[in-house]
Structure 1
C-alpha cells in the first residue's frame, strides 16, 4: 500500500511542509497446495495475500528453465497448468506485485507418471512366465512388479527403468495354473490420487498391522490391517506429492515412543473415558493407540494419537517461546527482570529464526517478567511481556544450631514433649505445607541429618524389626503464618509417643483393659517410646508433598539437624533387675513385720489408753459411668488432741523411728480413691495427661 508522509515546520503562526510518498512491500500468498487429475496437468490453489496487491504472477520452471508464466488478477486463488511432462518435478513461484515491489512463495510439485503399456504375460518353453511391456511416456525412475496367485502375492521385485521384460522362474509356479502380473504404474494410471502399499509378513506373533501415511511429519491417514494381509490402499491423496508410509506390527492397546518401542500395554474397562500414563520421559514424543475388544477379539481399526510430554521443569529456570511477527526483522532481544524489585537478571540477543529460549540461574518461587522485542535496522519494536513464577523448591536447610534442644524437652519413660518454631524453615523457596517428625534411636552427639529418603519406615516397622533404627511420624499440616514476621514467634508443640492424632494417632487402643490393634489408622502412627533409650529428633518440612490429592513420588523437603540424645526414663519397677529387687524388699519387710508384731501391739494399747480412738467402717457408693462402685475404707478417725498433750502425743508418734507417724501418713493414701477419673482415661485425652500414673479427678480437672 502507498502512504503519504508530510513533515511540517512551524515558526510562530507560519508553517511550511514537505510531503513524500512511500509504499510497503506486498505480502506473499500462503498455503500453496497442488492436485492433479491427469499425468500432464496440475492445479494449484493458495490463500489470498493480505493487504493491497495489484496482480499475481505464476511461474512454472524445470531445471531452472521457465516452462510457463501467467499473470493473474489480484483476487485469483487457483491456477491450472496443462501440457506438462508426466513424472517431472516443477518449481512453482507465485509472485504478488504492488507497484514496483514484489513478494513471492515457492513450492516444488511433481506430476504423476504414466503407466507402462502393452503388458503381456505368456508362458515360455522352459516353464517360466515372461512379462513384457512398452515404456511409458514422460519420466520415471524404476518399475515395481508383482505376481499374484489369486489374492496371494508370491513375487515382488524392483527393476531398472531400462527394463522391458521380466521372467518369473517356473520352479515356484504350478503348471497349468492362472497367475496375475501387476505393474503398479499401470494399476495407478486410472486414479492418480490413489496409493497402494505392499509388505512382507513379519516374523513372530502379532495381532495386526497399522499403516500410517505422513506428509511433512503429519499423519494424514492410518489404517489397521489384519495379520493375514500384506497390502493397504490410501485414496484422496495429492498427485505427484512425496509421502512417507510406515507399516508397524501391533498387539493390544500400546503406548509407543518415537522409536516404536512398546512402553505400556494395558486394558481398561468399557466405562473408562480417560487414562493417565505416568513414568514417561520429559520432552519425548509418544504415540498412543487405543483399540476396542469384544470377547477377547480386537477390532481391526484403532484410534491413534500423538503428543509430546512437557520438558522437565526447574525451580531455577524458565522456558519461553513465542510466535514470530508478520514482518521483516533482524533479531530478537529478550530481557528477564524480577517483578518485585525490577532487577535485570539477563539480556539475550537472538537470531530471527529462534523462537524459544531457556533462562537459567533464577531463584525458586520468584515472580519474573520476560520481555521480547524485535529489532530491525537498529530500531526496536514495542515490548511483548509475560509474567510468571518459577517453581517451588525444597526449603533451605536450617543451620546446625537450630534443632530440637534437650533443655526445652520434657522426657518420660514413653514420650518426649518438645517444641519447635515456624521460623526454623524459610519460605523463600515456597510455603511450608506439611511437617513430619523423624525419630532416630542413637546416643551419638554428632551434627548429622536424617537419611535423605522418602518415606522413612513407620513406627510399626520400627517396633517389629530390630534392624530399623529410625522412623517417621505421620504428616501434619503447617499452620504457620505466611508472613515471616508473624511466623517468627509461632511455636508448635509436639508430644511424641503419646499417640496424638497430629502424628497419626495411637497405634494401639485400650478397651475394657484389653489391648487390640488399631487397624483403621493409616501406615503412620505414634506409639510409646522404649524406656531407658536415647532418641534423636529432627523436623522434616515439606514445600511439596501432595498433588491432586495424591502423594507425589519425589516430594520437596528439608530436615533440621538431629537433636542431642534425649534418654527416656525407666519404667516404675520395670525390668528383670527391678523386679528381683522389689521381691527381695517385700520378703525382708514381711520378716520385719512378723518379728515386731508383738512390740507394735503394745505400743498401740498405750496410745488407745491416752487418746481414745474410734474405729469405724465407711461404705460410700458413687456413680461411675452408669455403674456404682463401692469404696471401702478402714482409716482411723482420731479425736482432737489438746494443746497441753500435743508434745507427749508427738513424742509417742515419733518413737521407733517415727513408725506411728509414718503409719498415720500412709493411711492418707486412700483419701480420694472413691472419686472418678473417667475423663482422663478417655483415648482422646491420654496424650494430654502429664503423667501416666497421676490422673486428675473428674470433679477437679
Structure 2
C-alpha cells in the first residue's frame, strides 16, 4: 500500500505517518519520516484488509494532524489447480494466503471458444466442480478474488477432459512384458475386451476378455512398439480406449573389447534381440568422456562425436565400424579405457554393458649395434646355440613380454631386417621348401633379463613344437642368418579375430652362421661330426678299433670249424682292448631329451596366454638334442660313446 501527502506551506521538521487496521484500532504502525519525504510504500499489509491512514506534521513543539483516510489493500492472487474427474467433469480448486476476500468468481471456458463461459460466485468454498463437459475437449480455468471494489485474477490453467469413458495407463514394462491398467466411468453392465497389436504392422498379437482393472501381456518382442485397445460394450453401445507404448530394448550380446594398436582399441558384439534403432558407445578415461559413437539400424552412416563437439560422419562399411564391430581411435598408447554400449529403441534404452581394453605399447627400441654370434663349442650339424644379450632391447615403450627367433637360410652378408609381418612362416613351410625364412615359437621374454647385462643362450634346431610353430632341426653344413624379434604386445585369439596385431621390433639379420658337417660311415650310420685336431685323431682310432672287433666277432660266428675254447678266446680279445674312459660312455641325449619332453608337455601358446605356460627360454648345457638324424636308437649290446667337444659316435 502506498501513502502520499502534500507538504504544507510552512516549514516542517518531520512527519509521522500512522497506519492502523480499521476494525482493530489497537494495531497501529507509526512511521517517522524527514521533511523532504512526501510518499511512502508500506509492505506486509494483509491482502484485502481495510486500513486507516493519517499524517502528522511537526514544526518544533507544534504539530498538525491530517484527516484520516480509510483504504483497503488489493486482494491476493490465488493458486489454481484443475483435477479431471471424468470425461465430462473437472474440479477447480485454489489456495489463497491469509487475506480479507469478500468472494471469488470462478471462470471456465473452452480453450478454442472463449465465448462458451461458465462462471460461479463462491464466498466461502475454495473448490468448484464443473460437469456436463465435452469428453476430450480443452478448457481454461481461472479464479478472481474480490475485496471491496478491488479484485485480483489468477493465472489461467488449461486442462483437457478425458477422451473416453475408459482411461488406460502403462503401469509396468520390461523387454518382453507390458502391464496395462484401466479406469472406467461406465456402469457395471458393460463388459470389456483387450486387443494387442504391433503398431507399425497392425498385426494382431492377442485378444482376451478383461475381468480386472489390470492386465499383463507377456512374450513380447524387445523394443517393439505396441498398441493396446480396450472395448467396452453393453450390447447396445460400445466405447473404445487406446494407448501405445514400446517394450524396453534388449542389450547386445557377447560384448568385449580388445587392444588393437598403440592408439586404437576394438570392440565386438552380437546384435540384440528384437527391435532397435541405435547402438550407442562411449569411450571413457577416468571421469572424462572422450568420444561417443552412434550406429543406426536404419542408416548406412556412423556418427562419432569427440570432445569439443567435433562430429565425424563415416560410411558404416568403412572397415572401422559396422553393426557388430567398432574401431575406436585417437587414444593414448599403453592406456586402459572403459567402453559403454547401450541399445536404443525410440526414446527407450537398454541396460548399459561395459568393457575394458588397453591400447598397446609402442615397439621396443633396439640397439644399433647388435652382434649375433654362436656360443663356443655348442654348434652341431642340426642346431645352433646363439648368445642373446638382454641389453639389445629397451623397455622404454612398455614391458618386453615375448620374443622369438627368425631363421633365414642364406649366405648373404647384406644388412637387412626381417619382413615386418606377423606371424612369419613356420618351420613346416621351410621344410617343404616354400620359404627360406621362418620363425620358431613365440616365447616368454627371458626372466634373466631382469638384469639388462645378462646374456642368455638360445638354441635353434631343438625340434620342439609349440602350437603351429616348430623349432625343427637345421640342415647340416648350411649357412643361416639369425634375427631376434621382441614383442611389447601379442594379441590373444579373440583379439586376432577382431583384427589385433602384434607390436614388435626385429634386429637385423646376423652374418651367416654355419652348422657342422656330418660324415656318413660305410654301414650307412652316422659316424660323427668332423672336428679335426687331436679329438679327430682319437675318434678315428676309436672307430678303427671298434670296427676291427666287430669284424672279428662276425668272422668267428661264421667259422665252420668248432673250437671248444672259442667263447673264452673271444672274451679275452675283448678284455685286451684299451680301456674306454668312463666319461665317454654317457648317453649324449639324456639331458636335452628330458628338457624336450618337458617342453612338449607344456601349455605354451603363440598367443597372449603364454604367461600360463612354462617359460620358453632355451638355456642348454651344450649337449645336442636327439632329433632327426642326430639321435638313433641302438641295441643294448651296442656301445654308445660320447666323444669330446660334443662330438658323438653311434656304432652299429
Q: State the TM-score, normalizing by the size of structure 1.
A: 0.35
Q: State the TM-score, normalizing by the size of structure 2.
A: 0.38
Q: Which has the larger radius of gyration?
A: 2
